[in-house]
Amino acid sequence: MMKKAKFFLLASALAMGAIACASNQAAQSEKALAALTPDGALYEAEDAQLFDVKILTNTYKYTGKGYVGDFSGDTSAIMFNVDIAQTGQYDLIFMTFSPYGGKENYLSVNGEPAGSIHSPGSPDDGENINGFRQVVVENINLRAGKNTIKVSRWWGWCYFDSMTVVKHQDKLGNDIYNVSAKLSNPNADDNAKRLMKFLADSYGKMVLTGQYGSPGDSTFEGLKKLTGSYPAVMAMDMIDYSPSRIEPYIDPVDYFQNPAGWRAAIDKKTPKYAYEESVKWDKMGGIVALMWHWNAPAGLLNTDQAPWFKGFYTYATTFDMGAAINNPDSDGYKLLVRDIDFISDQLKPLCDAGIPVLWRPLHEAGGGAFFWWDNFGPDAYVKLWKLMYDRMTKVHNLTNLIWVWNGGGESYYPGDDYVDMAGLDMYQNKYDYSSQYGNFSKIVRFFLNRGTGAPKIIGIMEDGVMPDIDFLVRDNAMWSMFLCWSGDDFFIFDADGSLISGSTESQMIVKTYTHKQAYTLNNLPNLKNYPLE
């Protein structure tokens, strides 16, 4: 996280026709009831209810009398009033974009949070956008009669031309959960195979609860007191294991001049919490997930605005990963290898102890350039992923890792030989318990459309709000797991376990942790004995 609030979405486009309707809002609402055909009903943004936004008619090509923007005020919003003939699932096709890079804004339906809407833009989305693009929000439940669809500012700085409502047709079947339990590493150990088999068997039927942190911290203990159980998955960040964070900032020249001395000095300063907590958690019967905010190996700016400890951000380092990864003889490449080898050594004791790990490196890549490993395009990213995979599995013989790809878009996918499951990070508006079907279906279709066999297991690898599992079942969007980020923005418990504030209400936490289709630590099977066949 570290943390902007942003979705990392796989690109999607859906071409559908539209039927124009009257420009004034009242007439538009009346005509929409009759005009709602499989081709859809068009609602112009300038005819919606507008809050702290402007109607514009310059610069960009639009339909109707204008377009709406730029969502720069704290209360900026547009609200479409829609009449629906029949209760059901509908797709919302927005014509939107942002000239300032991709932006995310809140979506609500009938006053309830319904995820977000992504306005594509350049350079964030890796496209040269100079006008409106179709963006589809799928599988929204609308009731017969009047409905309100509201877009409210989150990031702002975007424009909307229209919204088309169409009946949702392209439904996912239950066969999407028929996934392979075969791991990418042919030398994976039995405990990793057992965990993967359990995940594959559970996919589509059960959802694993997950939480960043560990037993003993306020969040884990608060969840236990509130619900009666710890989560099924304990997730931790290897951020402080990055060599350039340990010193706090170590000149990489020291590594080249005296590798043995550098290594000895770093080993003395290396934290051990991830290993110790993972061993404890494994003994308790839980599942371990580890990720890595990799502080850049070199080139940390170390200024007041970009301190050394934020070196995983693109803005805080000058490290040229693109040049490094394409030149194996360069110092930059050797530093990449140095860091990968160092992290591998920290993971090795878990492997030796027979503890399988959901391993999620190089996360949230896909053209946003938020982290330095995503700042040099998909080719460099894929090469870095493969370098890490090959060194960890072939050089360091880490047979306990289940590789979780958290990138975005086909060009960032390393390939089935390097990936075991896929994930998405989502930080929706507080109390947004929706299934996020649109995000789920985009990743599912990405794998289905490749034509290379069964899709991957898909999970929410970071989120701010627990989903309502009833909505996941209703919408057929059965994420394999959700892993809630830690911090005061998400959960604040008092000493007796009462939830003081957070992004998920206490009744939803209890509902989720006690749901018949949820795994917590209380009802996980013994994974050490889980059958391989």
Please give the Cα distance from 363 to 292 (Å, whole number): 8
Q: Specify the pLDDT at position 249.
A: 56
* Amino acid, single-letter form, for residue 238: M
pLDDT for position 448: 87
Q: Is the CB of residue 1 less than 8 Å from the CB of residue 425?
A: yes
- At 254 the pLDDT is 72
Sorted by where each begins, the domain ranges of the chain are 25-167, 192-228+443-533, 238-419
What gap in Å lies between CA 374 and CA 364, rounded to an integer?
8
Task: Say if residues 468 and 511 touch (Cβ distance below 8 Å).
Answer: yes
Name the E strands within 219-310. 233-237, 287-291
- Check: CB of residue 408 under 8 Å from CB of residue 9: yes
Q: What is the mean pLDDT of each run of 10 residues along the chain (533 residues)?
A: 40 25 28 43 95 92 93 96 92 91 90 88 52 89 95 94 90 90 97 98 98 94 95 96 78 74 80 93 98 95 92 96 97 96 96 98 85 94 98 98 88 94 90 90 87 81 95 94 91 84 93 98 97 91
CB 405 within 8 A of CB 414: yes
Q: Is 364 a catalytic residue?
A: yes
Is residue 221 among the annotated active site residues?
no
Identify the bridge partners of residue 80 per DSSP, sorted by sequence position. Answer: 149
- Separation of alpha carbons 365 and 507, rounded Å: 34
Spot the catalytic one: 44, 462, 505, 533.
462
Catalytic residue among 30, 127, 364, 533: 364
Closest CA to 288 of 338, 208, 234, 351: 234
Phi, psi of 399 (to 5 degrees): -95, 5
Q: Are strands 88-97 and 54-56 parallel, antiparallel or unpaired?
A: unpaired
Q: Cα–Cα distance between 119 and 135 in angstroms, integer?
A: 7
Length of the chain: 533
* Strands 88-97 and 77-84, sheet pairing: unpaired
Nearest-angstrom CA–CA distance, 107 and 172: 23
Q: Give the global pTM.
A: 0.83
Residue 129 has what pLDDT?
A: 55
d(CA 161, CA 486): 37
Which of the listed CATH numbers 3.40.50.300, 2.30.38.10, 1.10.3720.10, 3.20.20.80 matches domain 238-419? 3.20.20.80
Q: Between β-strands 357-360 and 49-51, what pairing exists: parallel, antiparallel or unpaired?
A: unpaired
Contact 420, 196 (CB under 8 A): yes
H or E element at residue 403: strand 401-405
Determine whether domain 25-167 maps to CATH 2.60.120.260. yes
Phi, psi of 46 (to 5 degrees): -70, -15
